[in-house]
Amino acid sequence: MTAIQAPGSRPARGGLRRRLIAAGPYLLLAPGLLWLLVFFIWPTVQMFIMSISSGSLDTGFRLTGSTAAYLTALTKFSRQFGNSLVYGGAATVLDFLIGFPVAYTVAFRGGRYKNLLLFLVIAPFFTSFLIRTISWKTLLDGPFLGFLRDTLHVLPADASVTGTPVAVIAGLTYNFLPFMILPLYVALEKIDFRLIEAANDLYASRWGAFRHVTFPLALPGVFAGSILTFIPALGDYVNATLLGNQQTQMIGNVIQGRFLQLNDYPVAAALSFILMAAILVAVSLYAKFLGTEQLTG
Amino acid sequence: MTAAPRTPSAPAGLTRRRFLQGSALVGFSAFLAACTAAGESQGPASIGIPTPPPESLGPSAAPTPLPSPTGPLQFANWEAYIDQTTAADAKTGVLPAGSSPTIENFKKKYNVDVNYVEKINDNEEFYALIQPALSTGLSSGWDLIVMTDWMAGRLISKGWIEKIDQSTVPNCVANLRDPLRNQPWDAGNDYHYPWQSGMTGIGYDSTALKHAGKSAPKSLADLYALPANKITFLTESRDTFGLGLLKLGKTADPATTTDADLQAVHDDLRPLVDGGARFTGNDYLQDFASAKVWAAMVWSGDLASSADASQIFVFPAEGTMVWTDNMMIPKGATHMYTAELMMNYVYDPNVAAQIENYVYYVCPVKGAEDIIKALNASSPLDDYHLGLLFPTPDVVAKQHNFQFLPDELDAKLKELYLDLAGQ
């Protein structure tokens, strides 16, 4: 009997181990999943519940399943949604145009100064985001503009850069530039230079080699960089607050105003939800367009 | 130009005075208690004046035997609202640069640390910061805050403010100016004592206006006529819309103003906002410092206390908004006793005069007037500064209080303001 039982019990022990091994990846994922559950999924659910609630801060919000907040969010703020898309998009494109040559130079021509150059890209970030943005206020309306306006009189007396879309886009471009440069650098730095040499050997012009070899290989960096720039730029409200005027408010400003001034939590939640959904759709379209296999590099 | 002596008054004189006051006060406070009880019934609740919560009848907090000051006292206030060490003082090394003599003297006197932060830029903005904690019964992290009447009334009516132990604040009880007593939202001063009163009017940068060939605004109509991208209004929508009503020749009175009146102000402001006019909190001071604005709606004392003499406050011809900012101790404050000591300290007329002589607001403390004048004996104040400290009768006649709005009007105001603000 024991002889029969023994083989029976051994598979049981082995089964446990097998199950443990099989569960291994999930166990390893558990801390991350728990983190996501507590700090992402649960707040998102709560935000959704808030977006379909009604009431006021004083009387409390009750879940009523009302879609009024979504109706308000979608109909009243087209200008601010538009501003966000245009400013965020413009900042991303500008960051790419400025960032790509920088990343290319650091990766291929940086030589022993690579680390120093990368440090210089990040160095401004040792200063607070707010201080940097406020400094831009001074820079944009600073002595140079004052000289042109008040001394040379080549600009009208009320000329000013701050308080215009240009200032907001400039601020966004500046603040998110490293988020573009660093992923681009990583992608470019990884490129096997022999591939470019091979292209040259096969009579590709320098431009042809760049177009057919370097740039396609850098696409994962372009994707990561533009996502990392566009998403935070889209939701940013600090640049519009400090550098813009009431006409250049972005959707982040609306959410802030609804949430903190009007205490209209349902509309603020609905706006956040719409923004999240819009970003999700945009990113998946973008990923499809660039090809998902590119993302893993 | 007034070269006001900003050195702190001699501590020796201070203590003697305080001693004399203290002894005179004991009887007076009893008299006052009787007064406030009589004044309790006046409270026209119809125009949205909140009232304090019903007294909880439970045993009052056990009297702590002779508490000692604890710190650091977390004190949130508005910008340009306390005396600052002058460059000369800082050079002698008596006080660190950027510090406030009043705060430094308080620290020395009570041997307690104070964290004085210029954290308040706008009532609603600060409310949004402390509301989440206070509404769930948690500490806001502040021991002493300074809010305008309507917001003070709201906080008190929600039961979020600690009751002041009047025996700790004899100076306040004795020296609060009479017109500021018996506020319907806290008749007995159980929860608040005023920090400063002031007015909302027009501020301008005379240098920038001269450069641009514009004349200085004397009225709200003049302000509205300046290039829109060079003027700012206040995020404090009661001020902006209140003055907006006066500009249109309407009265700014919570009892008679209608939604249509507010809509008219909104429509009047719309083209300016479309032309680039902005809304700011107390941070308009930075815009003035960087010459980004030519003129703006501002609060009365701020520009006078800035170092730049070309920044000037003017009482608009149409009238001003009047208000008082009040010290309060939020529920859950960890250093409540120290906060009360601070209230009491700044109600010493000598201390009040020293603050006033720097901030140029209207002092709520009896007896400070003469000391302010004495402080400037060597170079008497000009009419401009005197007018800020002691508003003339014709200024007072045109003051409007547009603060305690009924709920519907308040909702309409918020909606119209946010629409203008692009939010």
User: CATH number of the domain at A78-295, please?
Assistant: 1.10.3720.10
Domain range annotation of chain A:
2-43, 78-295
Exposure string for B61-79, b = 16+ CB within 10 A, e = fewer: eeeeeeeebebebbbbbbb
Contact A257 B273 (CB under 8 A): no
Q: How confident is the model at residue B61 (pLDDT cuts 50, 70, 90)?
A: low
Strand segments, DSSP code E, in B4-87 are 73-78
Return the amino acid letter for A48: F
Count Cα atoms within 13 angstroms, Cβ side, for B234: 25
Q: 């909880």: which residue's tokens?
A: B56
Which residue type sits at B104?
E
Indicate yes or no: CB of A256 within 8 angstroms of CB of B423: yes
Angle formed at CA B7 by CA B3 and CA B11, multiple of 5 degrees = 150
Say which of B277, B420, B423 has its CB closest to residue A254: B423
Q: How far apart are CA A258 and CA A266, in angstroms?
A: 9
Name the segment(s) of chain B with CATH classification 3.40.190.10.
67-197+323-386, 199-322+397-421
Taking only the tens place, the pLDDT of each residue in A41-94 is 999 999 999 999 888 777 778 888 888 889 888 888 888 999 999 999 999 999
Kindly list the distances between the CA atom of residue B305 and the CA atoms of B11, B288, B301, B360, B369, in Å, as whole numbers in the listed order. 25, 13, 6, 7, 18
Quickly tell me which residue has 């703006």 as its tokens.
Answer: B296
CATH code at B67-197+323-386: 3.40.190.10
Contact between A246 and B415 using a beta-carbon 8 Å cutoff: no
Chain A environment of B420 (Cβ under 8 Å)? 246
Q: Which of B124, B229, B290 shows the shortest C-beta gap to A163? A: B229
Rounded to whole angstroms, the maximal C-alpha distance in chain B is: 68
Nearest residue to B50 (alpha-carbon basis) of B302, B410, B376? B410
Burial of B267 (C-beta count, 10 Å sphere; 0-12/13-18/19+):
exposed
Closest CB to B274 among A163, A247, A262: A247
Q: What is the dihedral of CA A153, A157, A162, A167, to 10 degrees?
A: -50
Q: How far apart are CA B67 and CA B359, in angstroms?
A: 32
Residue B52 has pLDDT above 70, yes or no: yes
Which one of B125, B212, B278 has the shortest CB-CB distance to A260? Answer: B125
Strand-pair partners of B295 = B204, B231
Q: What is the pLDDT of residues A268-285, one digit of tens each?
A: 999 999 999 888 888 888
Q: Which of A246, A264, A267 to mutate to test the interface with B (most CBs of B within 10 A)?
A: A246
For B:241-300, CB contacts with A below 8 A are 273-274, 276-279, 286, 290-292
Entry pTM: 0.77
Q: What share of chain B is helix, strand, coil (3-state, %, to 5)?
A: 45, 15, 40
Concatenated DSSP letters of B108-155: HHHT--EEEEEEES-HHHHHHHHHHHHHTT---S-SEEEEEHHHHHHH
What confidence tier does A13 reach under pLDDT thresholds 50, 70, 90? low
Listed by number, the residues of chain A in 185-244 with a beta carbon closer than 8 Å to a beta carbon of chain B are none
Is B420 near chain A, with CB under 8 Å?
yes
Separation of alpha carbons B207 and B312, rounded Å: 10
Closest by CA to B76, choosing from B111, B112, B127, is B127
Cβ contact (<8 Å) for A262 and B278?
A: no
Instruction: Report which of A66, A79, A86 is spatially closest to residue A253, judged by C-alpha positions.
Output: A79
One-letter amino acid at A6 equals A
Return d(Cα B99, Cα B358) in angstroms, integer: 13
Helix B123-135 vs helix B149-157: angle between axes, to the nearest 10 degrees? Answer: 10
Contact B235, B402 (CB under 8 A): no
CA distance B58 to A170: 60
Residue of A nearest to B132 (CA): A57
The answer to whether the CB atoms of A253 and B278 lie below 8 A apart is no
Q: Tell me the per-residue pLDDT of B209-228, one tens digit each, with 9 for 90 and over.
A: 998 889 999 999 999 999 99
Check CB contact under 8 Å for A158 and B227.
Answer: yes
Contacts of A160 in chain B (CB under 8 A): 229-230, 292
Alpha-carbon separation of residue B47 from A288, B320, B404 (angstroms): 59, 20, 6
Please name the member of B131, B229, B277 whose beta carbon is closest to the beta carbon of A160: B229
Superfamily of domain B199-322+397-421 in CATH is: Periplasmic binding protein-like II (3.40.190.10)
A194 has a pLDDT exceeding 50: yes
R_g (Cα) of chain B, nearest Å:
21
Q: Judge whether residue B142 has pLDDT over 90.
A: yes
Confidence of residue B49 (pLDDT cuts 50, 70, 90): confident
Q: What is the mean pLDDT of residues A137-144?
A: 78
CB contact under 8 A, A138 and B290: yes
Question: Is the Cβ pair A257, B421 closer than 8 Å?
Answer: yes
